[in-house]
Amino acid sequence: MRTLDTRTIVVASHNAGKIAEIRDLIGPFGFSAKSAAELSFVEPDETGTTFEENAAIKALASAKASGLPSLSDDSGIVVDALDGAPGVYTANWAETAEGTRDFQMAMQKVEDALAEKGATDPAQRTARFVSVLCLAWPDGHTETFRGEVEGTVVWPPRGTQGFGYDPIFKPEGHERTFGEMSAEEKHGWKPGDAEALSHRARAFKLFVETCLTA
């Protein structure tokens, strides 16, 4: 285990939604951070078959390119009735022929796949969001932190907050989807809070407890 002795890092992402959420989480800790997108780093090929592998690929690429510790996120939705799909291919399901990402299309793909399985009852539509954060140093050392939140896939999509698949994911114990929650409700977390709601906030809580306060 290695603690972070600087507050200057790179957010190893080109995803605007992820960058915004990570900045919301790290802001209270006094970090100075630029994203891989802002620094015009080339996006590495995510060739891993697990969230952990892909998170490490992204964090190490930014750490080596910048010479600074870099924090990445690899995340996705895992749907039980679809044998864990889309999983690590969550972003791929949104890719269009034009090379852009259309998450309305991706959410429809999930719904169509569930319909093919006859999964119409909420008990058949269980899912979880998974987030793995990886903190990498330029020397190749990495620390990883995994957060998960259980829930249900709903249809039609509800809410315009968040990004990605948020409008079809209703976390366990809540009546609103992530798409209907404010940023503070979804991923707001600070030291002293017993729990965090979102998968990314839960992973971040582990990051803080391991690398910032150890």
> How do the domains of the chain map onto residue ranges?
8-212
* pTM (2 d.p.): 0.92
**Contact (Cβ atoms closer than 8 angstroms) between residue 34 and residue 9:** no
Task: For 83, list phi and psi in degrees, rounded to 5.
Answer: 60, 35
Residues of the chain where predicted confidence (pLDDT) is lower than 50: 214
73 counts as catalytic: no
CA distances from 178 to 130, 183, 189 (A): 14, 9, 15
**Contact (Cβ atoms closer than 8 angstroms) between residue 76 and residue 169:** no
Closest CA to 139 of 207, 69, 208: 69
**Contact (Cβ atoms closer than 8 angstroms) between residue 201 and residue 188:** yes
What confidence score (pLDDT) does residue 214 get? 47
DSSP alpha helices (H): ranges in 117-190? 183-187
Cα–Cα distance, 37 to 25 (Å, whole number): 18
What confidence score (pLDDT) does residue 128 get? 98
8-212 to CATH, choices 1.25.40.340, 3.90.950.10, 3.20.140.10, 3.60.9.10: 3.90.950.10
**Contact (Cβ atoms closer than 8 angstroms) between residue 177 and residue 167:** yes
Question: From the candidates 74, 83, 112, 193, which is the catalytic residue?
Answer: 74
What confidence score (pLDDT) does residue 148 get? 97
Which DSSP string do the residues of 76-94 spell out, in sequence order?
Answer: EEEEGGGTT-BGGGTTGGG
